[in-house]
Structure 1
């Protein structure tokens, strides 16, 4: 394999791995803040125990997300130096603000929250975890602003002397139409993932016969909170995703056509169908059998059941004419890998809907508050599998969503401005990239073992007991209050 392919594989592997932690961080920080706020209002020690329990799991996830995130920016200079030189003037602003404002906001106030139990006023302590959540949201916004420029470049001018894109309107970058719809989509998907995280651990303790009977109502509360968070945020995912599809059709029509494997134009008044599943050639050019929903693709693309949708072949011809002779493209085929876009789009939706079904089933099973629902769950294999899988479904949905977003943009690094093959570092050979990819893969494997080990250890242990009066002054703090993670 050449350096270009290896560099793409490395960036893809590290990005997907890192993004496992991002939505959990955003969503779980919100739910932990809600738990602590509910405890402060009700003084119910069960909510305090849940706050500390999920706060510990959140901290483990935050640490792993921090470590893996550093590698992302490192790769820009290592494997994608030409790309970094081209967009550095534009990427520098949002990424610098993300690091100097959002990240330091998260890390500083997370430290205050972790070690502030009994040391700072109660309301101020609760405010710390809310600020941590705000920091994660701001971090997502600025990073997405940089990514949205790659999808729909705005607020720039090309300098013919330096061959670089130079920032002319930072506000335009922050209010990019792609950014304004991508941000709520990512945010609600993250809350969906956080809800699934809480639901997963709560269901496991409800199913587990070893969980103390007195703790069952506590985990019932957590399960209902997680399930409601998952379901409510999923509505936001659906609405924002629908709007995002129409914006995507406007700025990246090839991506929408590739999502369906639609090769020929569908004129206005006909209505393009959306296939749930297709059997045919690998690239989707020839269909043998398909289960379709009539006119749904036209609605997803235009908001009209009979709206026109451009096909891959037409868009390919148009791009060949538009970008002919552009030194920063150097490509002739503007089609992404159709099987990847087609199936990642459906897997994204499929895993999301599967998580919604489990959340709805959990709420139905927990609808009674007399203790019978917790008893019915105990020992039932269905709930064991539900707790084991519901966490991964939103995670996989998030990952396939980003795979679709980034792979569907190919062969562009920056849509219409720079192709992927022109952005790779010219002085980095295949051997160098392969070596670093092996090192990162081994390192990430070790981190994965540590993450799973710590999560299972503290997750199985469950929520620690707290003093009966639920007071947390320095005289009754235990070692666990210091959030020490050692074996």
Structure 2
């Protein structure tokens, strides 16, 4: 083990941990805005109660996401200074816009939304949550645009004197084909997570508080969340299909690694399950679907998918001697866990809808138990998706331009990285417990009781700011 290994583990752990909060924040911001819009248009108080209820869960998650996200920027300069020096001119623009425009947009209007319930006109207050939701989604786009440069570098040139990548076309970076498909795929995955949480909390209250006056609100939330999950699942599959074809075009090694395909095949089959040697180099048994990999990669059931061995020889000729294949078992299984866990969440949502048909109240304990683990399924699917995306790019940190081993800070020792890695892991474990307990506590509390709005006065300068919760 050396400093490079630990730096990679630290960035992987902190990034995956941070992304546990990101999709829920992205998805819930829009769903809360939709619920408040429904209240604004209908005047039905159950939508207001659900807005404040799920809005509280959204704010808890948002705060935790901000705290854990700050660490990411510091790692670029501390553990990956050579990488930051190489790509800083490219990353600077989208990440600066993300911080100065998108993040300030969402954080400012979240503040107005929190404290503006009794002080802002209803339309302006509704606009505040929509502005925050738009800012949250814009933030995701700019970050994904920066990440997509690592997958498919565009709009740049290499300065021969400094050896740095320099930005030549910012529009090309923002319209990178990888970013254009990754953004809707990420949003669909985020709504899958948020919808799952809405279903879980709603169904729990429906089954545990059947005689409650708010049962109608919980039933609506359960149905609403289930449809969000199903629609999101369809969009995840659609955008994932497009993403697979672009991935095959710009990173053929990643597609080959997703299947563990060592030899070029036409047509190529997709293996649902493969048992192989420990190093992933030899297949012992496989359950395959004919033509599917060719269709996923090329759009043609008889299309050619390049194998790892042929690509390895091609890259060795193009980039010099070295091993250009990622860790095959990791890419193979993370790709399947990503798909399988997402489909499992969709299946549970379908069962929930079926259990509530014709205004029935679900009674199955097994359904409740399945629903309780439902939010974890798309969360894990998102995490495995990013593990596949980043590990499948290896050994490149910027595909075709910079190897990961060349991006690490040369002056940071193994002890220093190991110390920070251990500290962050312990802190994040503590924060995870806090987040889980807060979400559990307020989810169990249920929708809030509505209090009458205070009568307006001519002078309310002495009125304290009204926190909605």
Displacement after TM superposition at 1:78 (Å): 0.7
User: What pairs with 1:352-367 in structure 2 (closer than 5 Å)?
Assistant: 352-367=342-357
Contact 1:119 1:473 (C-alpha < 8 Å) held by counterparts: no
Secondary structure, aligned partner of 2:373: helix
Deviation at 1:193, TM superposition (A): 1.1
2:218 matched residue in structure 1: 219
Conserved in 2, the CA contact under 8 Å of 1:118 and 1:473?
no
Displacement after TM superposition at 1:472 (Å): 6.6
Residue matched to 2:378: 394
Shift of the 347–479 alpha-carbon distance from structure 1 to 2, 3 Å rule, reads: farther
State the TM-score, normalizing by the size of structure 2. 0.96
| CA distance, structure 2, for counterparts of residue 255 and residue 73 of structure 1 | 26
Counterpart for residue 6 of structure 1: 6
Is the aligned partner of 1:160 residue 2:160? yes
SS at match of 2:271: strand
2:339 is matched with which residue: 349, 358, 365?
349
Aligned to 2:297: 301
Deviation for aligned residue 1:207: 2.3
Q: What aligned pairs does 1:175-324 form with structure 2 within 5 A after superposition?
A: 175-208=175-208, 210=209, 212-267=211-266, 271-324=267-320
Give 1:176 shift.
0.5
Q: Would the aligned equivalents of 1:192 and 1:394 in 2 still touch at CA under 8 Å? A: yes
Q: Name the counterpart of 2:433.
A: 449
Please give the alpha-carbon distance, in whole angstroms, between the structure 2 residues aligned to 1:239 and 1:473: 51
Distance 2:31 2:195 in 1: 7
Aligned residues: CA RMSD: 1.6
* Contact preservation (8 Å) 1:156, 1:166: yes
Alpha-carbon displacement from aligned partner over 1:432-481 (angstroms, at most 9, x marks no partner):
000001111111112111101111111111111114xx757679xx9996
Matched, 1:482 2:467: yes
* Alignment check: 8 A CA contact 1:280 1:288 kept: yes
Give the whole-Å Cα distance in 1 for the aligned partners of 2:292 and 2:455.
59
Size of the aligned set, in residue pairs, is: 464
CA contact (8 A) 2:156 2:165 kept: yes
- Listed as ranges, the gaps of 5+ residues in structure 2 are 458-462
Contact persistence 1:204–1:383 (CA under 8 A): no
**Counterpart for residue 144 of structure 2:** 144
2:115–2:465 contact (8 Å) kept in structure 1: no
**CA 1:108–1:161 in structure 2 vs 1: closer, same or farther (change >3 Å)?**
same
Q: TM-score, normalised by structure 1?
A: 0.93
CA distance in 1, matches of 2:386, 2:252: 17
Q: Where does structure 1 lack aligned partners over 5 or more consecutive residues?
A: 325-330
Is the 2:196–2:374 Cα contact (8 Å) retained in structure 1?
Answer: yes
